[in-house]
Amino acid sequence: MLVTLVLITGVSFLLFYDFGKTNSRLIDEILNYGHLPLFGVVALVILWILNKGSWPCTEKKKYITAAFITILLAILTECIQVFTPDRYLELGDILNDTIGAVTFLTFVYSLQSNLSVSLKARYMGASVLLMALPTIPIFIAAFDTWNIEREFPLISSLETSIEMDRWSSKESAMSRTRLYATDGEYSLKVNLYPGIYPGISMDYLHNDWRGYGNLCFDVFLEGSTPLEITVRINDRKHNDEFTDRYNKGFRLHPGDNHISIRLGDVKNAPRGRMMDMGNITNICIFSYNLKEPRSMYFDNFRLKNWALLIRCYCPNSHDYRQSRGITQEDFKKFYNQMRVICIENHSIFQ
């Protein structure tokens, strides 16, 4: 009885505890995959209870009943999330729960029944394959995580389709397109729908922005009238208060737009503290109280630093500088500031 109580308590905790969304796509995919072994264990606990706490169980009917009860429990737990703040029903989770229950029960049944050796092997092989297939998103997430680190300070350029999973949307729709790309061949097309806060959010990105001066990205706005957007940036310590993050409005004009945000302003944005520039977790771009649909194209999200500016000042670098949105005027201002500093320190600029 004590063992049963401990098992039910532990499983109930795992079923209803909200682990929340992390800032790592890889960890989130691993947690999503965790539904399979969790509900596999749930199914076995239910089977054990149906078999009156004894083992082994050889009655096929009890296995089917355990699977049916587990699937109902999976649907119930997802439905409950509809009434929980910041959580929602996900059909993918129900599917993973079902796969976990069926594969665990099938594998155990093949071990404890009087099946032929060949049939046991088929059941076991099918169970292992069903458990292995849902790991594919984990490997994709691992590759994208590696890509994020490899491409930094380029944050996103939409050159691979798997980058799309770094983004989420609200009251809007996203797609990759070859139109209006400013870095590589693809851009992110965003259709904003009428709503209170239609926009997009980048949830998975390189977190350490220390040592960089600006966040930049390019936007092409369709239509004949300007559009007001807001850029929001927050760190891991963000408490969801408006005053605890960076928020700034920008006016987009029809056609090409280049947005550059000083990271010094981002660092000083939270009230009463400094933004943790080593743990930036989210970039959100949205419009407020939009009355009509609008379409825009985003590309080339990147950070700029002084080393990049120096590189852009080298001979024959005009095309490179132009492609990165850095003007000669920008560099001259920086160069003159650095010249004063270096002269004061008796450097080679004298």
Domain holding 276: CATH number?
A: 2.60.120.430
On whether residue 77 sits in a domain, the answer given is yes
Cα–Cα nearest to 218, from 260, 189, 248: 260
**By the 8 A CB rule, do 175 and 169 touch?**
no
What's the pLDDT band for 344 if we cut at 50, 70, 90? very low
pLDDT at residue 316 tops 60: no
pLDDT at residue 156 tops 80: yes
On whether residue 71 sits in a domain, the answer given is yes
Same domain as 330, residue 256? no
Which residues, 6 or more positions from 311, have their beta carbon under 8 angstroms from its beta carbon? 317, 320
Task: Quote the CA–CA distance of 123 and 31 in Å, as a whole number.
Answer: 26
Cα–Cα nearest to 71, from 35, 103, 33, 39: 39
Domain total in the chain: 3
The mean pLDDT value for 204-213 works out to 90
What's the pLDDT band for 315 if we cut at 50, 70, 90? very low
Decide which of 108, 138, 168 is a domain's last residue.
138
What share of the chain in percent tops pLDDT 70? 78
The mean pLDDT value for 92-97 works out to 80
pLDDT at residue 245 tops 90: yes
pLDDT at residue 166 tops 80: yes
On whether residue 147 sits in a domain, the answer given is no
Q: Which residue has the higher pLDDT, 83 or 86?
A: 83
On whether residue 145 sits in a domain, the answer given is no
Q: Which of 11-15, 48-52, 159-163, 230-234 has the highest mean pLDDT?
A: 230-234
Same domain as 292, residue 264? yes
Same domain as 201, residue 275? yes
Same domain as 237, residue 318? no
The mean pLDDT value for 84-91 works out to 63
What's the pLDDT band for 193 if we cut at 50, 70, 90? very high
On whether residue 49 sits in a domain, the answer given is yes
Decide which of 288, 304, 320 is a domain's last residue.
304
Q: Which residue has the higher pLDDT, 14 or 248?
A: 248
pLDDT at 266: 94
On whether residue 149 sits in a domain, the answer given is no
Same domain as 282, residue 238? yes
Decide which of 138, 170, 193 is a domain's last residue.
138
Same domain as 111, residue 19? yes
Enter the tokens of residue 194.
Answer: 């009428």
Cβ atoms < 10 Å from Cβ of 324: 18
pTM of the model: 0.71
7-16, 181-190, 215-224: the lowest-pLDDT one: 7-16
pLDDT at residue 346 tops 60: no
Q: Give 187's strand partners.
A: 177
pLDDT at 191: 96
On whether residue 328 sits in a domain, the answer given is yes
pLDDT at 125: 84
Rounded to 10 deg, the angle between the 2-16 and 35-50 helix axes is 150
166: containing domain:
156-304
Same domain as 174, residue 297? yes
Same domain as 119, residue 168? no
Which residues, 6 or more positions from 306, have their beta carbon under 8 angstroms from its beta carbon? 213, 334, 338
pLDDT at 334: 61
Same domain as 258, residue 170? yes
Same domain as 198, residue 107? no
φ/ψ of residue 315, rounded to 5: -55, 150
Enter the tokens of residue 23.
Answer: 């800032």
pLDDT at residue 146 tops 50: yes
On whether residue 148 sits in a domain, the answer given is no
Q: Which residue has the higher pLDDT, 192 or 42?
A: 192
Cβ atoms < 10 Å from Cβ of 180: 20
Same domain as 104, residue 16? yes
What's the pLDDT band for 230 if we cut at 50, 70, 90? very high
Q: Which residue has the higher pLDDT, 247 or 345?
A: 247
What's the pLDDT band for 106 if we cut at 50, 70, 90? confident
pLDDT at 174: 94
What's the pLDDT band for 155 if we cut at 50, 70, 90? very high
What's the pLDDT band for 256 if we cut at 50, 70, 90? very high
Enter the tokens of residue 48.
Answer: 């054990």
pLDDT at 265: 93
The mean pLDDT value for 336-348 works out to 48
Task: Quote the CA–CA distance of 20 and 199 in Å, as a whole number.
Answer: 22
Same domain as 130, residue 13? yes
Cβ atoms < 10 Å from Cβ of 228: 12
Task: Quote the CA–CA distance of 62 and 206 in Å, as a whole number.
Answer: 49
Which residues, 6 or more positions from 57, have their beta carbon under 8 angstroms from its beta carbon? 47, 48, 50, 51, 63, 112
pLDDT at 60: 82
